[in-house]
Structure 1
Amino acid sequence: MDRPELPLAQLHAFTVLAEELHFGRAAARLGIAQPPLSQQIARLEAKVGHPLFVRAPGRVALSPAGRELLPSAQRALVGLADGLAAARAVGSGRAGQLRIGFSASLALTVLPGLLRTFRERFPAVELDIREMTTAPQLAALHEEAVDVGLLREPPPAGEEGALGFRTVLTEPFVAVLPSDHPLAARRTVAVGALAEEPFVLLPRSVGPGLYDRITGVCGSVGFAPRIVQHAVEWQTVCALVGAGLGVSLAPASIRRIRLRGVAFRAVEPGTARTRVAVAWRRDDPDPLVARLLEVVGTG
């Protein structure tokens, strides 16, 4: 069965007249003349098939049909008003849901502050935070499974494709060593001093850019790291180093992971740095993405 067309203007006129029970006052409240109001009510009555008001000289009252219709009409108008307000809030980027992918190590750097600032500015926005490494984040952005990514070592210039990237920060690397390793006695470790050491490192599949950056730092001083163990998360990398399986090079923020038996030391050359960036789809019309980029730009 086809649903009848919802005559919103007529419902509005009906509810105002039902509240005022006076054509002149209702017309003034609606900002229209009395004849157009009468026409609106007549059209609605024709649609219902029964009078909605009992008219008498100097008196207007709801009919039984009008009393039955009034609660539904009021709910419909309130629902529409709420829907319009919600649509305006979402359209202006003040409400809605924003899905954010992030690399776990960023919880040790920019992520908490960024989320706190965003929440303070846009408290009505629901944040869906998803932990994932760089490669899955890039795939999720392309597949529209997340709206924004916070990741390490985005693709180099010229390889961004449909995605945009903005640098949030850069940070140096540190050597991750067993605390009883001879190099742990030094304040600064030359990367070249790690040439003969076994390495524990993230697999390239989860973060090609960071993997290549670390191996490139080693290559710049004349060696390729001998990787004996892979681990997806930096906390696991550090735990394996503490267990004596090898050493590693990691972003400096990893020093905030406190594990017994693990030492972190600055490295030379100190110019070697890793880049953290926010990523998004360039053609994404969602205003919440623009709002997050504003926060990143002013954070």
Structure 2
Amino acid sequence: MARPELPLPQLHAFVVLAEELHFGRAAARLGIAQPPLSQQIRRLEEKVGHPLLLREPGGVTLTPAGRELLPAARRALADLADGLAAARAVGSGEAGRLRIGFSASLALTVLPGLLRTFRDRHPGVHLDVREMTSAPQLAALHDRGIDVGLLREPPEDEPELRFRTVLSEPFVAVLPAHHPLAAERAVRLGQLADEPFVLLPREEGPQLYDRITGLCTEAGFTPRIGQHAVEWQTVCALVGAGLGVSLAPAGIRRIRLRGVAFRRIEPGTARTRSAVAWRADDRSPLVGHLLAAVSEGMSGP
């Protein structure tokens, strides 16, 4: 048998009357006249199928059915109030969950400050932060698996996505510490023409891979790829082991590994761009708050 629905206005009227035990005081507290209050209680009793209150000359008392209903009615009203507050918080972007993908190397530069700024402004939001290379981030954005991405070398042909630059930094040469060029303060790309390279696999970040190989082509050679590694820390470790050289964003210098030297590239015009990415049709206030935190960080000292 279907359970009868109990309208919340009637429950509210019942709770107030149960607390006041007087129709006049309860009606005044509710801001209504006594007849509408009596009608609300009568309808509620019809739905329950039993009297909830005993009308007496000096006021009212609760029946056993009324005493049983009162705590449940209070819980229902409290749950509704909590639900409304939670809905308002989520709707305004002050609560909820924001899923952020990020390239590991950006944890060395922009990510910590961005997350701190966001948490300071919106402490009620749960941040679900996931380490991902650029290509999986783009796929996850399209599949709505993440809400925002932080990636390197954003593509030009993604009409469904939007990008905003968060960092531009130069490339550096990554060399074994014992390499002859490690004794120099800066190197020219052409000096690496005969070296094997250690790079991230192209499928993990095709734009960055093509940017690096394109710089080598501009310098007059096609890089010979000796090893691939998904993480920059692994790239640097393989370089330190003598398996080749690499080009990396300057922030990678914060990875301190023995046997690895980082050197400036001349001329210093070779740079890499990192961006925040989001779906063009996303109107979530959480995404808006994150973009505001990005803007704040870029305009700060």
TM-score by length of 1: 0.98
Q: Paired residue for 1:246, among 240, 244, 247?
A: 244
Q: Distance in 2 between matches of 1:27 and 1:252?
A: 71
SS in 2 for 1:161: coil
**Structure 2 stretches of 5 or more lacking a match?**
none
Where in structure 2 are the equivalents of 1:151-230 lying within 5 Å?
A: 151-156=151-156, 159-230=157-228
Which residue is 2:10 aligned to?
Answer: 10
Cα deviation, 1:207-250, whole Å, max 9, x if unaligned, reads 00100111111111111111111100000000000000000000
Letter in 1 for 2:62: L
Cα deviation, 1:82-114, whole Å, max 9, x if unaligned, reads 000000000000000011000000000000000
Which residue is 1:294 aligned to?
Answer: 292
Q: Paired residue for 2:280, among 279, 282, 293?
A: 282
Which residue is 2:98 aligned to?
Answer: 98
Q: Distance in 2 between matches of 1:195 and 1:2?
A: 79
Which residue is 1:109 aligned to?
Answer: 109
Q: Distance in 2 between matches of 1:31 and 1:151?
A: 57
* Residue 147 (1) aligns with residue 122 (2): no
* Residue 65 (1) aligns with residue 71 (2): no
* Residue 119 (1) aligns with residue 89 (2): no
Q: Distance in 2 between matches of 1:102 and 1:131?
A: 5
Q: Distance in 1 between matches of 2:199 and 2:3?
A: 63
SS in 2 for 1:74: helix
SS in 2 for 1:167: strand
Cα deviation, 1:13-70, whole Å, max 9, x if unaligned, reads 0000001111111111111111111110110011111111111112211111100100
Query: Alpha-carbon deviation of 1:5?
Result: 1.6
Query: Alpha-carbon deviation of 1:2?
Result: 2.2
SS in 2 for 1:149: strand
Cα deviation, 1:243-298, whole Å, max 9, x if unaligned, reads 00000000000000000000000101211110000011111232211111111111
Which residue is 1:264 aligned to?
Answer: 262
Q: Distance in 2 between matches of 1:172 and 1:137?
A: 23
Q: Distance in 2 between matches of 1:103 and 1:85?
A: 35
Letter in 2 for 1:270: G
Letter in 2 for 1:147: D
Letter in 1 for 2:26: A
Larger displacement relative to structure 2 (247-256 or 159-168): 159-168
Larger displacement relative to structure 2 (65-74 or 53-62): 53-62
**Structure 1 stretches of 5 or more lacking a match?**
none
Answer yes or no: is the 8 Å Cα contact 2:102–2:133 preserved in 1.
yes
Q: Distance in 1 between matches of 2:296 and 2:28?
A: 49
Q: Paired residue for 2:271, among 270, 273, 279?
A: 273
Q: How many residues align?
A: 297
Letter in 2 for 1:101: G
Q: Distance in 2 between matches of 1:6 and 1:208?
A: 59
CA RMSD across the alignment: 0.8
Segments of 4+ moved more than 4 angstroms: none
Q: Distance in 2 between matches of 1:246 and 1:187?
A: 19
Q: Distance in 2 between matches of 1:59 and 1:75?
A: 25
Which residue is 1:135 aligned to?
Answer: 135
Q: Distance in 2 between matches of 1:290 and 1:75?
A: 35
Q: Distance in 2 between matches of 1:244 and 1:298?
A: 42
Query: Alpha-carbon deviation of 1:198?
Result: 0.8
Q: Distance in 1 between matches of 2:98 and 2:259?
A: 39
Q: Distance in 2 between matches of 1:89 and 1:36?
A: 34
Q: Distance in 2 between matches of 1:5 and 1:69?
A: 14
SS in 2 for 1:61: strand
Answer yes or no: is the 8 Å Cα contact 2:6–2:44 preserved in 1.
no
SS in 2 for 1:99: strand
SS in 1 for 2:138: helix
SS in 2 for 1:276: strand
Sequence identity (%): 79
